[in-house]
Amino acid sequence: ILFEDDDVLVINKPSGVTVHPAPSVKDATLVDWLKHKGIRLSTISGEERHGIVHRLDKGTSGTMVIAKNNDAHEYLSAQLKDKSMGRYYIAVLSPPLKDDITVIEGNIGRSANNRLKMSCGMEHTKAAKTMFKQLSLTSDEKTQLVACKLFTGRTHQIRVHLETINRHII
């Protein structure tokens, strides 16, 4: 827990932890941990997603804001919708990006070949936009630290957009 008041809880989610229950999830989730701790959470998103305004992929670590009541949940959701709340990530890529700033816009949806994967350029997809900013390059110039800004929030958006330009998160 990084911060807590009457309305929100800000946590540092470790990599490897699933945010909320789903039929395919067998392990304990972040929501399970919050409930076990007895933390009061909003109920807007339903029983499985108590307090969850946004999520991070299981393999992603980072800061999450959890709503402790319905008013806070509505306020945070509105910020996500009107883009006044930003979402930023830091990633190590290989190979490095060519330009200082790279913007990728490409619709994202479920892969027709593998329903567990997301991909660009499919039918029945949603618009997605990501901006990447170079931060640092390793001395051997094989990997690079970048900042990623999401303008939309699609599942696996950063990975999917990077795959379209043959870049991969290390």
pLDDT in tens, 36-64: 888 888 888 766 577 888 888 888 899 99
Residues annotated catalytic, as ranges: 57
Rounded to two decimals, the pTM is 0.80
Residue 73's SS3 state is helix
CB atoms under 10 Å from CB of 80, counted, come to: 15
Distance, in Å, from the CA atom of 160 to the CA atom of 147, rounded to the nearest integer, reads: 16
Query: Which of 2 and 115 is assigned the larger pLDDT?
Result: 2
Task: Tell how far CA 9 is from the center of its chain.
Answer: 17
Any idea which residue has 């200082």 for tokens?
A: 100
pLDDT exceeds cutoff 70 at 140: yes
Q: Flag whether pLDDT at 123 surpasses 80.
A: no
In this structure, which long-range contacts are made by residues 52-56, counting pairs with CB atoms below 8 Å and at least 24 apart in sequence? 52/19, 52/20, 53/77, 53/80, 54/80, 54/87, 54/153, 55/19, 55/20, 56/13, 56/19
